[in-house]
Amino acid sequence: MGHSPTSWRIIHLLVFLIIVLDHALIISADTDPQDTSALNGIAASWDNAKSKLSEWVGNDPCGEKWPGVYCTQNRVTSIRLSSFGLSGSLSGDIQSLSELQYLDLSYNNLSGPLPPNIGSLSNLESLSVVGCQFSGDIPKELSQLPKLRFLSLNNNRFTGSIPPSIGNLSNMYWLDLGENRLTGSLPVSDGTNTGLDNLTNALHLLLDNNNFTGGIPPTLTLLTKLEVLHLENNKLTGPLPDLTGMDSLYVVNLENLHITGELPQPLFKLPAIQTLGLKGNNFNGTLTIGSDYSSTLSLIDLQDNQITTLAVSGAQYNKKLILVGNPICVQGNNEALYCKSSQQANPAAKPYSTQSICPGLPPTCLSDQYLSPNCTCAVPYMGTLHFRSPPFFDLSNDTFFVLLEENMKEAFLGKQLPVESIALDNPAFGPSNNLDINLRVFPSGKIRFGKEDISYIGFMLNNQTYKPHAPGINYGPYYFIGQSYPFAETLSAPRQTKKNQSLIIGVSAGGAFVVVSLLVLFTVLFFRRNKRPKLQPQPRSPSYASWDIKSTSISTPHLQGARVFTFDELKKITNSFSDANDIGTGGYGKVYRGVLPNGHLIAVKRSEQGSLQGNLEFRTEIELLSRVHHKNLVSLVGFCFDQGEQMLVYEYVPNGTLKDSLTGKSGVRLDWKRRLRVVLGAAKGIAYLHELADPPIVHRDIKSSNILLDGNLHTKVSDFGLSKPLNQDGRGQVTTQVKGTMGYLDPEYYMTQQLTEKSDVYSFGVLLLEVITARKPLERGRYIVREVKGAMDRTKDLYGLHELLDPMLAPTSLAGFELYVDLALKCVEEAGMDRPSMSEVVAEIEKIMKMAGVNPKVDSASNSMSYNSRTPRHPYSGESQFDYSGGIPSSSRVEPK
């Protein structure tokens, strides 16, 4: 008897399943084999890899989470192995990691040349090998890395000259080649070759402690974004070029060179300048600071030059000026303050040191352990922080160091790192006014850090991911020299290998069982199928596969422009919700960075167990979010309601929060005009929620950490998890539970317990004040609204608020400032009825922008009603959609998965 077509299909399916399962048993690893081979080749060039990286065994670095290796899907994208105690060289196998974006090998005993084929890593964005012993020439092939933004080769033994082609790295914002043995002149473009003056996006240029010769190129002034310039301890000669136009420059260190001539007076007028290190040169003649020097200038160090006279009195410049070792201090002026080498407030006081607070007798720690500030014994991660140009000089002033400890701990905890406490001691100024501080970072809940912890802490300190900042203090640039960390003993490689072999055997046996079971099952079904009556096809359920309809009668949500993700999809996209993908924590839960198969970045908000909503509430929220589309609102890409999980998927916004920019944490510097653009975008987004969303929405938690900045510094209002639709009568929503954040809350809300759009207006007014002061709304009992109202004097310039202003704002360029403050105070009126609407706020900010010479139509919508701006066609789907800036295509229809 012949087989029917259906029978043949079943047989073909069986054969296909057997082939697939057999293939799966052979290739069980998740990691791309090319990456695995490359990592093994790199490890083979390290003399002590077997002891220091004993977990690097098997054939699946991504799935088995090798320490220091981070993956996106099945490709290695980051290697962070700072302070792992590795020795040897860097193998050319590195070139095979074609998806590598971050490489940090700092503070290891690695030597030899940097392999030239590192220039084939076309996706590399950050390269850091600080504090190793690499030698030879800097490979010119580095100029072939189009995405390289961060290059730190300092504290090595590199020789030769700087390759001129390094000027091709147009995306570079950080270049540190300090403390090497480099020679030659500083390369600049000459019509044929590129040079350092082509790095127009550079913020930090650090070339100190080498043997460079020649002059300081005048064309360095083309680097108008530059903030920090370090050329000290070289053999550079000639005059100092005019630095006019470098309006972002706040640190200049040209100490111990051979520069001659008189100091140009415009140097002291640079609007952002804070520190001028000029000692050990041949500046001569009269020092003319002038009366219109920059208000941010706090240190002029001109020790050991040839200054003969001072054109202004010390009273006219009342910050720190050092002229020790100049003729002016030998000619009868020894008693002048600027002729004293020590100008500390209390030079005899003991330098700061973190104290351990113990309720009784402190415990006795083992020889390799230290007593933490919280009186526990543990093995800390240790090293030295070198602040290149600190803004303070009193080493006994606890405030500077306590705030630094608090800020650093907060940064580590913000990345979910197990840090219990920070200890600082023995601060001392070096010969170049560098401040060196011993650092100890103590683990929380355990004796030692794990390798992943040290990998991440080292990465934050080496790649300047952590930027120390405190209210009123800009600690300035620094670098960190870490010590090798004594990790706990781990299982040897052979035992690990045996474990993996057992795993493979187990998987193989299990796979064989599955194959046999499937054969039996399909055989039974094949012989029974003719005995079963044919069924009419059933209509497909309209619900999503991930929507749990068994336990509720709640219907499937109706989404507009968003899609459904399964738990497994999001797990893969976020690298199993790894710590490396963790980008923050909010009220809803943790937020993870993910990459869709098409390469688009997303942010996944994963609800914590205690934050899970009911089915109806979650359905209502995602329906509401899917209907809200505006260029100044973070866009919802989709959601997940699967395997007991509730997750929201948003577009990824790369430049962090407005709060991070104001505090200096993100490294994004906002001048007055940029700040106006940011608040205009935020106002338009909120106005859209109030007046054009259907139904209208009250945000309820407007604050600087909920204002995000995308890659072009366009504003995105985020965190709609707390948003609520207004009642139909427009009176708002009555609630007995306080929503929002202290310092931003509407005082009228406390009395009426009623949320209205005017509650958001009040919060926005507080935000406006935060933007110009860079201070927390509520800090140590001081309320920003009360502080501004108490200090302002409308008869004075800038309303007399100079002392409250963010020092990063140049007072000479704050056109429209008074109208801005007036608007902020209107928004924080006690009675809601006296506050403007958000559309009125938008119109007023646009007016202020025009006064400041900023076109409100540029990088934003076209007019004051443009918070309703839409585009007729979506650039990806071709459907009529919205002005969507997230760069992630969304389907016009949402189908059940």
Spatial distance between the Cα atoms of 69 and 38, rounded to a whole number of angstroms? 12
Report the b/e string of 808-839 with b at 16+ CB within 10 A. Answer: bbbbeebbbbbebbebbbbbbbeebeebbebb
Decide if 274 contacts 297 (C-beta within 8 A): yes
- Binding site for ATP: residue ranges? 605
Residues paired with 425 in a beta bridge? 353, 438
Q: How far is CA 748 from CA 342, 711, 756, 758, in A?
A: 54, 37, 10, 10
**CA distances, 616 to each of 543, 551, 553, 554, 625 (Å):** 14, 12, 9, 6, 14
| Residue among 436, 476, 148 at smallest CA distance from 298 | 476
Catalytic residue among 60, 701, 719, 760: 701
Q: Is 729 a catalytic residue?
A: no
Give the long-range contacts of residues 257-264, CB within 8 A, separation 24 or more: 257/231, 257/232, 257/233, 257/281, 258/282, 259/216, 259/283, 260/284, 261/285, 262/286, 263/287, 263/288, 263/302, 264/240
Long-range Cβ contacts of 512-520 (<8 Å, 24+ apart)? 514/21, 515/17, 515/18, 515/21, 515/22, 518/14, 518/17, 519/14
Antiparallel, parallel or unpaired: β 715-717 and 707-709:
antiparallel
Tokens describing residue 507 = 């998987």
Phi, psi torsion values for 604, nearest 5 degrees: -110, 115
To the nearest 10°, report the CA torsion of 549, 550, 554, 560: -10
In 138-210, DSSP assigns E strands to 150-152, 157-159, 174-176, 183-184, 204-206
**The two three-digit tokens of residue 240, written as one number:** 């100092």
What length is written for the chain? 897
Three-state DSSP state, 715? strand
Residues in CB range of 773: below 8 A, 6 or more apart: 784, 788, 804, 805, 806
Q: How far is CA 444 from CA 220, 365, 377, 484, 855, in A?
A: 46, 16, 11, 19, 51
Degrees, nearest 5: CA angle 369-375-376:
45
Q: CA-CA distance, 788 to 796, in Å (whole number)?
A: 14
Would you please indicate which residues are annotated as catalytic (active-site) residues? 701
